[in-house]
Structure 1
Amino acid sequence: MSSEQPQKVLSTAVTEKLQDGQVVTIRPMDRSDIELEREFLTSLSPDARRFRFHGGIGKPTQKLLEQLTDIDHEQREAFIAVIPKDAGEKEIGASRYALDPDGKAAECAVVVGDEWQQHGLGILLISRLIESARARGIERLYSIEAADNHILNEIARKWGWECHSDPKDPTQVIYSLDLTGA
């Protein structure tokens, strides 16, 4: 792989079609997306926010929004799924990872707006994340999730993620995907 490929993967927007025919754009997230992220997180149902943030959050704080949109595209990567809205865009989902200190594994997360779930958007977002991680040479992605997120459990197993109970917290499970295989 040339040294140009990881940057190309990170910097390009792609247009995809959901199962219902809706066209979405998936692109790298940056600081200018802070208001999109605020509106998106605020619009999530309490369950969606609980699953994403491992607990109930109400209105996202400015500090949280800054952390979520301050992406260096080296140690931390994030992609945002948007659709056209009025004169701008509306966020309908996001995926992200943060590298572990050893640079070989990264913790990841995906969140899809409630009304956009079960349309194939989550798979598109995680696929984009996997593509980026592989281009960087990351060997493993993992995600720590609520054990009662049964929909995610079904999806993760279907797509080949391993699932183990979190030894530190019985209310959580750890999903892991080896990126070194074919």
Structure 2
Amino acid sequence: MGDFTAAHLGERRTLADGRQVTIRPIQPEDEAAERRFFARLSAETRRLRFMKFVRALNEQLVHTFTRVDYDRYMAFVCEATVGGAQEIVGEARYAAEADGESCEFSIVIADEWHKSGIGGLLMNALMRYAKASGFKTMEGMVLRDNRPMVKFVRALGFEIAPLPQEPTLVRVVRRL
């Protein structure tokens, strides 16, 4: 999408409840905030995000999660004031698929921010950016028992398809 920096892509938003948040690309300087964000997630939220139990992010994952190339790999975070400091309260990311036309997304929201509206803000920012970067479709795998996520992506226009070879998952796909 060109030579962009996080400052060019950040936007301040007001949620329906009046809270202020910032949606912006993740940066290498966010490593400590990324660790804190993950540590605040419940065990169930971690399971739903990673499709298995993950106790903590290892250093390699933290490094990978906080580096984007603004093209094939992109991530937006939502920052808000938590306990008097700016903290990450949600993130959405994509990675390009081998075909070059589709990308796979993931999203995770801090438990206390579920149903606040930041999921939609993050996904809309991610989808706009992916489309502007030339991707034609966005897809993901969701645990079938993650009903709130299935409902959420359906509301965003994703189609839901079962995976016969993997009965615990559904594939979600949306044209950009």
Q: For the superposition of Structure 1 and Structure 2, which TM-score range results when normalised by the shorter chain? A: over 0.9
Partner of 1:165: 162
Residue of structure 2 aligned with 1:104, choices 98, 101, 105: 101
Partner of 2:44: 47
- Deviation, 1:87, is 7.5
Residue of structure 2 aligned with 1:37, choices 22, 34, 38: 34
Q: Is the partner of 2:18 in helix, strand or coil? A: coil
Q: Is the partner of 2:31 in helix, strand or coil? A: helix
1:70 aligns with 2:70: no
Q: Is the partner of 1:32 in helix, strand or coil? A: helix
Q: Which runs of 5+ in 1 are unaligned?
A: none
Cα distance change of structure 1 residues 63 and 8 upon mapping to structure 2, 3 Å threshold: closer
TM-score (norm 1): 0.90
TM-score (norm 2): 0.93
Partner of 1:148: 145
Cα displacement string for residues 19-60 of structure 1 (whole angstroms, at most 9, x for unaligned residues): 211110011111111111100011101111011111000021
Higher mean displacement: 150-159 or 106-115: 150-159
Equivalenced residues, count: 176
- Deviation, 1:66, is 1.0
Which amino acid in the other structure matches residue 125 of structure 2? R
Say what the alpha-carbon RMSD is for the aligned residues: 1.9
- Deviation, 1:101, is 1.8
- Deviation, 1:71, is 1.2
- Deviation, 1:106, is 0.1
Q: Is the partner of 1:144 in helix, strand or coil? A: strand
